[in-house]
Amino acid sequence: MWTPKPDAAELVSTTDPQAEAIYQAGLDRITNLFWARDWDQLADCIAVPNRIGAPDTERVFATLDEWIVTAKAARETFAQIGATEYHRLGRAARFTDEARTRIIGLHETYILRGSAFAMPAYRAFLMMRQEADGNWRSNGLYSEQRDTTLPTIHAERLKPLSR
């Protein structure tokens, strides 16, 4: 598991407006591309290795292909629970290095079915780094949502539900 797990209170107390703006822009891009199933553009938002964790599991993706296979399966999980909207709202972010090329942020995730929650909102932490080409890419995520509740980290291992 993530050791140590990110500390939300510490992150909120050290938040940086510039990091917050970069973080929210990254969240929006990744969220919109995931929702639209634009896998090629989404892959350009991800850095590998990429570490994703939850209270009940953790996984390190060595390749973008491996990450995208899981993202596709996770998107299917959202469809199976009847999700019609997916939003991630940044609450805090800060740079983690003096060069200001790495960010950790805290956000809340809302998955809706119509005007109601498809599941309770939950918090997550996303790590980003600025690559040599100047683009910011996600290189890690820790979700406070258990993977057994919302299968995403190992979603490709699930047997698809018949429709």
At which residue do the structure tokens 């553009």 appear?
Answer: 41
Its CATH architecture, for the domain 8-156, is Roll (3.10)
- Contact between residue 88 and residue 31 where contact means Cβ atoms under 8 Å apart: yes
Under the banding of pLDDT at 50, 70 and 90, the label for residue 159 is very low
pLDDT in the model for residue 97: 95
66-96 pLDDT tens trace:
999 999 988 999 999 999 999 999 999 999 9
pLDDT band at 155 (very low <50, low <70, confident <90, very high): low
pLDDT digits (tens, 9 = 90+) for 94-113: 999 999 999 999 999 999 99
Tens-place pLDDT, residues 12-68: 888 999 999 999 999 999 999 999 999 999 999 999 999 998 888 888 999 999 999
> Which of 153, 159, 90, 149 has the alpha carbon at shortest distance from 120?
149
Q: What pLDDT, on a 0 to 100 scale, did the predictor assign at position 151?
A: 66
Q: DSSP state, 5?
A: P
